[in-house]
Amino acid sequence: MAKTTHIAVISIPAFSHQASIIEFCKRLIDLHHHIHVTCIVPTIDTPLPTTLTLLKSLPSNIHHTFLPPINKQDLPQEAPSAVQIQLAVSQSMPSLRIALESLLSTTLLHALIVDPFANEALEIAKEFNLLSYIYFPPSAMTLSLFLHLPVLHQQVSCEYKDHKQAIQIPGCVPIQGQDLPQHLQDRSSLAYKLILDRCKRLSLANGFLVNSFTKIEEDSQRALEKHNNKVYLIGPVIQTGPSEESKGLECVRWLENQRPKSVLYVSFGSGGTLSQQQLNELAFGLELSGEKFLWVLKAPSASSDGAYVGAYNDDPLQFLPHGFLERTKGNSFVVTSWAPQAQILSHISTGGFLTHCGWNSALESIVLGVPMIAWPLFAEQKMNAILLSEGLKVALRPKFNENGIVEREEIAKVIKGVMFGEEGNEIRARIEKLKDAAADAFKEDGSSIVALHQFVTQMENFM
């Protein structure tokens, strides 16, 4: 009988990251029953309700503990959500050290697995002589950028958006500087400094667990393995969630009454928000397309990631164009809170996905074989959109006008293109092949299963 192996994981106060690392832990212990996990969760003000729901479904050998909350009022109010989250995590490091000391007093802890935006914990792991790994929720392409950023910072002296030549990230398709992550676009900003510091700290990790799989990022994987041979592509790890929770939802019942592949699912993820002007154009574009849609609607915000740390009490429906719901009645279903994304994407009635290109959402769409409209908002989403539309060719991208707005006619055009056009049919054929490849990755000898076994073997060989 295998001896128990204890590991601790630390995430950040953003649901998409928390959901991903928790699903990874569930998959890990499903394969290796002797592993026990303690999830350490930093918080801002209070734990996220969606996180509390997710934690209730954990198996018995995954435990969790919340670090003392950071007061949101103690964070710079004008800072972007990503900066607030990173500063909150930094302020939580003394509490993490205490939590680890407490854990080590009762448990033979073998390793610490940390989110890339909580990687100050790598230094604490060294203090306690623990193995440490980065669990990387985004793509292998983004990890390659993060590892390359200190070099890129030296090579390029101007703002990246002003750099004339395409930027070559090792193992990735060349991209323009303006398509690098949002918070790299102002090199004098605190956001850039925080990310650069975290990228420099990645070398402290003993290895990297990446939420991707070989078939979609083979070139990036090869480049990463040249940098560090302990890189494990262990995805696609997606959130399936408790299905009982969504059975009686009205939006699911509405889907049951629609024709196969006839509904466009529209969601900008747990953090994404649009301006009022863009929300109006999207509404009119959906209406103009004449296609059926299920829209997860959030109140507008001046910040594209405004829903991450801000809770909006306003009813989102009041921000829709006058008469929109009446005019689209029968063709539409608008959800103003949480929606069971995996269940919606897997439903036979769903034929397309208008997405912000968060990596979790992109992987869910690939795993479930749903063609995409790629509409990136923030973080590394433009890079994901390039990979999806130009690299894998499983998404269409709408064009933004000179004011950074996607106009209603363009929206209607890409909706029709992905739902019924010839290009949409080609995308559907390609994503079906990737769906099969994603399933193959988790067969007994699949690439991701092999990678998970290699990770556990190499970790335990260090013990």
245 pLDDT exceeds 70? no
26 pLDDT exceeds 60? yes
128 pLDDT exceeds 80? yes
User: Which phi-psi region, left, alpha or beta, contains residue 348 (left: φ > 0; alpha: ψ -120 to 50)?
Assistant: alpha
Kindly state which CATH superfamily the domain 243-438 is placed in.
Glycogen Phosphorylase B; (3.40.50.2000)
What does the mean pLDDT of the chain come to? 94
Residue 49: the pLDDT is 87
451 pLDDT exceeds 90? yes
Give the DSSP letter of residue 258. S
CB 388 within 8 A of CB 374: yes
| Sheet of 5-10, strands arranged across | 62-66, 35-41, 5-10, 109-114, 131-136, 207-210, 231-233
Residue 242: the pLDDT is 44
Question: Catalytic one among 36, 110, 115, 347?
Answer: 115
Question: Catalytic one among 17, 36, 183, 356?
Answer: 17
Structure confidence at residue 247 as a pLDDT band (50, 70, 90): low
Kindly state which CATH superfamily the domain 5-239+444-461 is placed in.
Glycogen Phosphorylase B; (3.40.50.2000)
425 pLDDT exceeds 50? yes
Segment 37-62 mean pLDDT: 93
CB 61 within 8 A of CB 37: yes
Beta bridge partners of 352: 264
Q: Where are the domains of the chain?
A: 5-239+444-461, 243-438
Most confident listed range (125-129, 300-304, 337-341):
125-129
Q: Dihedral of CA 84/89/90/92: which sign?
A: positive
Amino acid at residue number 192: Y
CB 139 within 8 A of CB 380: yes
143 pLDDT exceeds 70? yes
Q: Measuring CA to CA, how many Å separate 249 from each of 242, 252, 338, 340?
A: 13, 5, 10, 9
76 pLDDT exceeds 70? yes
Convert the pLDDT of each residue in 307-351 to its tens digit. 655 555 689 999 999 999 999 999 999 999 789 999 999 999 999
pTM (2 d.p.): 0.94
Mapping DSSP onto H, E and C, the string for 116-165 reads HHHCCHHHHHHHCCCEEEEEECCCHHHHHHHHHHHHHHHHCCCCHHHCCC
34 is catalytic: no
Segment 41-65 mean pLDDT: 92
17 is catalytic: yes
Residue 183, both tokens = 């918070």
Q: What percentage of the chain carries pLDDT values higher than 90?
A: 87
Within this chain, domains 5-239+444-461 and 243-438 share the same CATH topology:
yes
Residue 5: the pLDDT is 95
